[in-house]
Chains A and B, each alone.
Chain A
Amino acid sequence: MDFDIKYKDFRDGVRAYCEEKIAPHAVEVDRDQFYSKEVHKIVNDKGWWGSIVPKKYGGLGLSTLEYAIIVEEISRICGSTGLTFAAHNSLGTFPIYAFGTEEQRKKYLPPGANGSLIAFGLTEPEAGSDAGGTKSKAEKTADGYILNGTKCWITSANVCDYAITTARTSDEGGVHGISSFVLEKGMKGFAAGKKENKLGCRGSDTAYLHMDDVKIPASHLLGNEGEGFKQFMITLDGGRISIGAMAIGLAQAAFELAVKYSESKIENGKPINRYQSIQFKIADMATRVEAARLMMYKTAWLKDNNHPFTKISAMCKLYASEACHFCTHEAIQILGLEGLTEKYPAERYFRDMKLCEIGEGTSEIQRIVIAREAIRELAGV
């Protein structure tokens, strides 16, 4: 067992870049809630949109561990960018590489790796945690499909060039009647709704995706018919690592802010970090961040080494997002009323945090996954 981070230099480089380039935009994208083309380019200049895309398709071919470190470091600076980044890589380029034909890989991965955003359209107004309850339909035609339906809470809906969406190709077979398709911006009948006005991650674009008689050739089917459910379960297993990483980045940012503030803030003639009540908060924050990060490393390591990681991936996402809730909450507590103002980013971290407990499977869903896996392990199946 070896906990030595060979990636320290890698992390330092990523951190320095994010601090220098992304940090100047973090307040603005949140306050004015827009998707920043400048930040998009900053990420693209490093090739990070293609983090986990293999080199032969124009990506960086990084390990899951390295990719998770990038998500963490971006999120430490800007939760909005962290979310857009995590969604594009884990939910966009990953399923195309994992389930796509060679032709699809060649068509979508090079632009995807070069910053053409790929959205992931799974959730529907009546199918949230119960993602198998997909109502969207894909009617088979002579040479393809006609798609109808509505997807909601889609990250980068307005700013993406491509979207993977799920729809029923059969009313039979329950979840086995769901298939995935790759749609392209500009297809007739395919449109995004108005950007949602959100609590946090306001610099990331979230909106409905409408499919109104969208006609597509059969070549846009991802994998085989009926495999959609299986595909997104696998995709979400990986996506959970990145939301875990995002939560750790936000938690780390909140922790650092709290430590710094506690040194400078004087109450009753001494810095507040001389009080045990503040020291103990700091100790608890650091301990939870440490545990969350170890979980992220282990989950990523398991994935990179082709070991099963469904249960620990859910644990990582659950634990990291709740640790993030704790840390961002305590940071505001340490800052007091100043923590509620725009003067410090504590309130932004707190608002950005909430996505981590809901997106890509709520905390409740993670607990269902963990318990199911644990009970299954006991039964030896």
Chain B
Amino acid sequence: MNFDLTEDQIMYRESAREFAEKRLFPVAEELDAKGEMPKELLQEAAEIGFFGLFAPEEYGGMAVDTLSYALIIEEISKACAGLAISMSVHNSLVIKAIEMYGTDEQKKEYLPKLAAGEIIGAYSLSEPNSGTDAGSLQCQAIAKGDDYIFNGTKSWVSTAQFAGIFIVFALTDPEKGSKGISAILVPNGIDGLTLGANEKKMGMKCSDTRELSFMDARVPKANLLGEENHGFKVALSLLDNGRIGIAAQSLGIAEAAYAEALKYSKERKQFGKTLSQFQAIQFKLADMATRIEATKLLVYQAAVLKDSGERHSKEISMAKLYASETANFVANEAVQIHGGYGYVKEYPVERYFRDARVTEIYEGTSEAQRMVISRDLLKD
């Protein structure tokens, strides 16, 4: 047993922390208010290598271990959770999927551009009527000649506007239900693909989220990722990757909200003493710090187990479940400690509170995580 980080892990964390503190935090409030992510900021992050975290070195990536990845996402999320979600999807879903299932041609075509951030990857599984029950999706990609013809609607696609490529899950054999789903690389901007308006979200406002509408959109068959009709397996195999990213993101939000609350409690005076001198506030801080410590251990353990080669979906779901609930608990208490000031945009805790909410929903709701955990425990 060893709880020390390696030198590389510390270095990655420091570089992410520096970027987060110097470049992200100062603009995060403005990005949130405008509800947009400047392309230049994505490029800056890409230049450090943050969009090639999981790409192999031969394709220009950094090929970091999962714990380093989690540490980076955690640091970025302390400043701007919206950028972290773009990074998480791009690295842990899109690059990972191409690395795991792509043909040599696909890897050569996409990985260098993705790793350099020349194109951003987006991931499209959910639909208006297919959320937690992902196997029930309806969007179709029917083979015709050398192409697939896409028809249908996908929803909640992060970073859709900037995406160069989408991994879209659609039915190539509608008769077979979830066994007729395929994962297909869909370039942005093709005829028949229309992006919806940016969703008006509660939090993560600087992250772009849109619907994709397909109407007879043609994609070459060469863009099939993995085997035809094996897309649902592809999606399931990526769940653990995505969940670690969201767990780390939740941890970052919680830590940032706690740090703000702790600082504020030392400054704010009522009844002649600082808030930090009241037990009611001390106990909130103690509970926040304790849950953060528990979260950190669960998240780091999940990351380390991910690299062990064996499946550890239960521990990863525990990390995602616990981290997201902690983020909401801590952000709520941080607003409470700030009182009225926590309810307005003068302090960042208002943003953390809004940003935290979705972590209990995306990449598998808390309910879906509990299903995974209990299924594993009760399987024999």
Contact = CB atoms under 8 A, between A and B. Distances in A.
Interface in B298-346: 298, 300-301, 304-305, 314-315, 318, 321-322
B375 to A, nearest CB: 8
B81 interface: no
Given A273-B378, A282-B374, A283-B377, A291 B322 contact: yes
Interface in B1-48: 1-6, 9
A291 B3 contact: no
A301 interface: yes
Interface string A1-42: 111111100000000000000000000000000000000000
A282 B1 contact: no
Nearest to A284: B370
B3 A301 contact: yes
Contacts of A379: 266
Most A CB within 10 A of own CB, among B298, B321, B374: B374
B374 to A, nearest CB: 4
A299 to B, nearest CB: 10
Nearest to A296: B297
Contacts of A368: 279, 282, 286
A240 B275 CA distance: 28
A340 interface: no
A290 B318 contact: yes
Contact of A1 (B67, B266, B369, B377): B67
Interface residues of A, number: 45
A247 interface: no
Interface in B40-91: 67
A291 B297 contact: yes
Contact of B374 (A283, A298, A311): A283
B1 A6 contact: yes
Contacts of A263: 378
Q: Could you tell me the dominant secondary structure of chain A's interface residues?
A: helix
B334 to A, nearest CB: 14
Contacts, number: 129
B283 interface: yes
B294 A295 contact: yes
A2 B1 contact: yes
Contacts of A302: 3
Given A287-B373, A290-B318, A295-B294, A374 B262 contact: yes
Contacts of A78: none
Interface string B357-371: 000000000010111
Given A5-B1, A367-B283, 19 more contacts: A1-B4, A6-B1, A262-B378, A280-B367, A280-B370, A282-B374, A283-B374, A286-B318, A287-B318, A290-B315, A291-B322, A295-B294, A297-B1, A319-B290, A319-B294, A371-B276, A371-B282, A375-B265, A379-B266
17 contacts: A1-B2, A1-B5, A1-B300, A3-B305, A5-B1, A280-B367, A283-B370, A284-B370, A286-B377, A287-B321, A291-B298, A294-B297, A315-B290, A319-B294, A364-B283, A371-B285, A375-B265
